[in-house]
A and B are shown apart, each in its own frame.
Chain A
Amino acid sequence: MSQYAIQATQLSRHFGDLKAINELDLQVKKGSIYGFLGPNGCGKTTAIRMLTGLLKPTSGEIDVLGYKLPQDSAKLRFLIGYMTQKFSLYDDLTVKENLKFIAKIYGLSHREQTQRITELLGIYGLDNKVNQLAGKMSGGQRQRLALAAATLHKPELLFLDEPTSAVDPENRRDFWETLFDLCNHGTTILVSTHYMDEAERCHKLAILEDGIKRADGTPDELMNNMGAHVIEVDTDSPRQLKQQLVALPDVITAAQLGSRLRVLIKNSVSEPIEFLTQQPSILPTNALEIVRPSLEDVFVTCTGEGRQ
């Protein structure tokens, strides 16, 4: 048995002239949580759809749990779970009816159905919503229901497409707790997101932009190997300073955080503090400090290259 749940090589998908996914190489270890981080329209959903067998790749090879896609997609159905970006259960069915429907589709016996549904209702805190219509529930509740439905048949591999886009931070925390529980029980999870804090929780992640994988690795690796210095500048007039600094060729970008300015400087500059103090726009009174890069810095550095 391979140690990888997903292996994709040179995976491409074109829609006419648009290269939604371009030569993507991917390896997802069993029992890990793998993240796709990228802006809207970067190809996250297309990639997931190809890995679940819903879309045929234009070229490239996919191996999911030992099955070749798209040929073997029918055999894979019982082994994978997929939670779509948009809520895709039935709004006009109740929580129980939705789960019951899914249970029957996966061919659970009557006893298994009742047992598994009771179990899931407990795990996802839907006990007291059993007879509520799915369409009348809050974003967080619907998302928990969707996850319950996607994991009902105990899949080995779970795909989550922007699972928390309609959920408040409190619910997001709880949601990730349940994901780690699932992972603990051996489920491999592939999750797409555009939230940095979520991406940071993944064991490993890939940064996607315009269908191209810009970087991948563990969050720590990504932050340590980032090709830039991060300096925070304390200033009274951050807006003006930002405009002057971003005009410099060695400055990748600058972002305002309240009264401070977070400046990303290329690695080719060996002494970033000195480099900045030499700039006429920096006053001697401004405090300069090298800080630890965040995932957002990694993201901006990686994807920035594409924009230039």
Chain B
Amino acid sequence: MKSLLRIQAIFYKELTQLSRDRMTFGMVIMIPLIELMLFGYAINTNIRDIPVGVVDHSQTSLSRVLTQTISATKVVTFTEQFINIKEAQAAIASARIRAVFIIPSDVEKRMVRHQSVGLESHPSSDEETSRPIGQWIIDGSDTMIASAIKGLRTMPLTELMSQPANRNTPTFEMTLLYNPEQRTVVNIVPGLVGVILTMTMIMFTSAAIVRERERGNLEMLITTPIHPMELMIGKIIPYIFIGALQVIIILGLGHFIFNTPINGDLGDLAAITLLFILASLTLGLVLSTIAQTQLQSMQMTVFILMPSILLSGFMFPYEGMPEAAQYIAEALPATHYMRLVRGVVLRDVEIFDMAPDITWLALFTIGGLIAASLRFKKRLD
């Protein structure tokens, strides 16, 4: 009973302080808003309108129609014409353009014989017919841009010849579940919840105890009958509400602005999110018992945040990482939450099927709370 009163005292004090700290309060709202806009609008892995140049050795009407057809795909935009390849390469080096399209002088002859326009199949061993129509020289340093342009390798030229394409039967039939339009934002928005929560939850709590130490409040607190566990719990409860508020902002606005689906059960979503918030908060508390100043606690937050963004599967698929990186990723709460939140929001997964991730988050929270309480001594030495 007395213990509850003390937790409530800390909780209420923390809320009052937070309500006076307008900057922090603003950040609680602004960080998810800004990040949502950035990732929703600005970050797109479906790249369009890449600036490219053209070197036209044939100078025929066909070559002009060919470039127009390529422009129509919207993948690239022809911004410059070059006399020779050397000039074009200089333009690539200076990053004015990302690639150059070279049209050979015999483009008409190649076109007629090319299998993408002919109705009949030519034996691919026939060297004459298997020659490509033109060549792309691409700045390969950015793999995303390179692969976007590489996508043009087998583009159909149906409209160009007003002939039906040489339709090949695909080897495999592909069906895309959950995100059939292949919009990046669908995968980003639920993942963003994990990143924002990692950032704000760890940052706030890691600063929370350190701030009391820096301002001298801790010296007073430890002479009172308060128990370390009561202090820890009282300090993290306000941030659970803040975390919940941020989740509502991200998923709610994501749903209305970017039309990202929320397919799963809201109760499941609340449960896994609460678990992740608790795990992040206790991680922050552990950091706060290590850091001596608020600056140090901030640095440690960044130290955790970077792998949480890069290794959690938020930006790059977990499966593509080397084994060592996967081990690190497995240790981070963000990785497990990323799987859970995408599972619930996008795929309406049964959460009991995600038991390993849930177990890890629960164990992490309990372990963290114990570690933080043990490390926080009611002494100054």
Residues of A within 8 A of B (CB): 49, 52-56, 70, 73-74, 77-78, 80-82, 84, 86-93, 97, 100-102, 104-107, 149
Is B16 touching A97 in the complex (CB atoms < 8 A)? yes
Is B225 touching A56 in the complex (CB atoms < 8 A)? no
Interface membership of B38, Cβ < 8 A: no
The answer, among A54, A86, A92, A100, for a CB contact under 8 Å with B379, is A54
Is A56 touching B13 in the complex (CB atoms < 8 A)? no
- Return B327 CB to nearest CB of chain A, in Å: 40
Is A105 touching B226 in the complex (CB atoms < 8 A)? yes
Q: Known contacts A49-B380, A55-B381, A104-B5; decide if A88 and B220 are in contact (CB<8 Å).
A: yes
Q: Known contacts A92-B17, A97-B16; decide if A105 and B225 are in contact (CB<8 Å).
A: yes
**Bound CA–CA A87/B219 (angstroms):** 10
B213-251 Cβ-contact flags toward A at 8 Å (1 or 0) = 001111110111110000000000000000000000000
- Return B164 CB to nearest CB of chain A, in Å: 74
List, in ascending order, chain A residues with CB within 8 A of B224's CB.
Answer: 77, 102, 105-106
List, in ascending order, chain B residues with CB within 8 A of A81's CB.
Answer: 223
Additional 15 contacts, C-beta under 8 A, given A86-B216, A106-B225, A149-B220:
A53-B379, A54-B222, A54-B380, A55-B379, A55-B380, A73-B378, A82-B220, A84-B219, A88-B219, A89-B220, A90-B17, A92-B21, A93-B16, A101-B13, A105-B6
**Bound CA–CA A84/B217 (angstroms):** 9
List, in ascending order, chain A residues with CB within 8 A of B8's CB.
Answer: 104
Interface membership of B20, Cβ < 8 A: yes
Q: Known contacts A55-B379, A55-B381, A90-B17; decide if A101 and B223 are in contact (CB<8 Å).
A: no
List, in ascending order, chain B residues with CB within 8 A of A84's CB.
Answer: 216, 219-220
The answer, among B12, B220, B225, for a CB contact under 8 Å with A77, is B225
Q: Which one of A55, A82, A87, A92 has the highest number of Cβ atoms from chain B below 10 Å of its Cβ?
A: A92
- Return A136 CB to nearest CB of chain B, in Å: 12
**Bound CA–CA A82/B225 (angstroms):** 12
Is B216 touching A87 in the complex (CB atoms < 8 A)? yes
**Bound CA–CA A124/B217 (angstroms):** 21
List, in ascending order, chain B residues with CB within 8 A of A56's CB.
Answer: 379, 381
> What are 8 pairs between A and B in contact, CB < 8 Å?
A49-B380, A55-B381, A77-B224, A90-B13, A91-B215, A92-B20, A97-B13, A104-B6
Interface membership of B167, Cβ < 8 A: no
**Bound CA–CA A93/B6 (angstroms):** 17
List, in ascending order, chain A residues with CB within 8 A of B20's CB.
Answer: 92
Is B16 touching A88 in the complex (CB atoms < 8 A)? no
Interface membership of B50, Cβ < 8 A: no
Interface membership of B86, Cβ < 8 A: no
Interface membership of B9, Cβ < 8 A: yes
List, in ascending order, chain A residues with CB within 8 A of B218's CB.
Answer: 88
**Bound CA–CA A49/B222 (angstroms):** 11
- Return B350 CB to nearest CB of chain A, in Å: 43
The answer, among A54, A86, A97, A100, for a CB contact under 8 Å with B223, is A54
**Bound CA–CA A90/B15 (angstroms):** 13
- Return A225 CB to nearest CB of chain B, in Å: 36
**Bound CA–CA A89/B215 (angstroms):** 9
Say which size band chain B's interface belongs to: 20 to 34
Is B13 touching A80 in the complex (CB atoms < 8 A)? no
List, in ascending order, chain B residues with CB within 8 A of A105's CB.
Answer: 6, 9, 224-226
List, in ascending order, chain B residues with CB within 8 A of A107's CB.
Answer: 2, 5-6, 225
- Give the contacts of B190-231 with A (CB-CB under 8 A): 215-220, 222-226
List, in ascending order, chain B residues with CB within 8 A of A149's CB.
Answer: 220
List, in ascending order, chain A residues with CB within 8 A of B378's CB.
Answer: 54, 73-74
Closest residue of chain B to A86 (Cβ to Cβ) is: B216
List, in ascending order, chain B residues with CB within 8 A of A101's CB.
Answer: 9, 12-13
- Return A55 CB to nearest CB of chain B, in Å: 5
**Bound CA–CA A87/B217 (angstroms):** 8
List, in ascending order, chain A residues with CB within 8 A of B21's CB.
Answer: 92
List, in ascending order, chain A residues with CB within 8 A of B223's CB.
Answer: 52, 54, 77, 80-82
- Give the contacts of B350-381 with A (CB-CB under 8 A): 378-381
**Bound CA–CA A169/B2 (angstroms):** 40
List, in ascending order, chain A residues with CB within 8 A of B217's CB.
Answer: 88-90
**Bound CA–CA A56/B12 (angstroms):** 32
**Bound CA–CA A86/B217 (angstroms):** 9
**Bound CA–CA A91/B216 (angstroms):** 11
- Return A145 CB to nearest CB of chain B, in Å: 12
List, in ascending order, chain A residues with CB within 8 A of B220's CB.
Answer: 82, 84, 88-89, 149
- Return B378 CB to nearest CB of chain A, in Å: 8
Is A54 touching B219 in the complex (CB atoms < 8 A)? yes
- Return A116 CB to nearest CB of chain B, in Å: 15
**Bound CA–CA A169/B217 (angstroms):** 26
B140-158 Cβ-contact flags toward A at 8 Å (1 or 0) = 0000000000000000000
Closest residue of chain B to A13 (Cβ to Cβ) is: B381
Q: Which one of B217, B224, B226 has the highest number of Cβ atoms from chain A below 10 Å of its Cβ?
A: B224
The answer, among B2, B5, B17, B379, for a CB contact under 8 Å with A93, is B17
- Give the contacts of B1-47 with A (CB-CB under 8 A): 2, 5-6, 8-9, 12-13, 16-17, 20-21
**Bound CA–CA A77/B381 (angstroms):** 18
Closest residue of chain B to A52 (Cβ to Cβ) is: B223
**Bound CA–CA A90/B218 (angstroms):** 10
List, in ascending order, chain B residues with CB within 8 A of A70's CB.
Answer: 379
**Bound CA–CA A70/B378 (angstroms):** 11
List, in ascending order, chain A residues with CB within 8 A of B222's CB.
Answer: 54
Is B16 touching A78 in the complex (CB atoms < 8 A)? no
Is A78 touching B219 in the complex (CB atoms < 8 A)? no
**Bound CA–CA A90/B378 (angstroms):** 19
List, in ascending order, chain B residues with CB within 8 A of A74's CB.
Answer: 225, 378
- Give the contacts of B145-199 with A (CB-CB under 8 A): none
**Bound CA–CA A81/B378 (angstroms):** 16
- Return B217 CB to nearest CB of chain A, in Å: 5
**6 pairs of A and B residues whose beta carbons are closest in the complex:** A104-B9, A88-B220, A107-B2, A77-B225, A82-B223, A88-B216
List, in ascending order, chain B residues with CB within 8 A of A91's CB.
Answer: 215
Q: Which one of B16, B20, B217, B219 has the highest number of Cβ atoms from chain A below 10 Å of its Cβ?
A: B219
Closest residue of chain A to B217 (Cβ to Cβ) is: A88
**Bound CA–CA A69/B125 (angstroms):** 93
List, in ascending order, chain A residues with CB within 8 A of B9's CB.
Answer: 100-101, 104-105
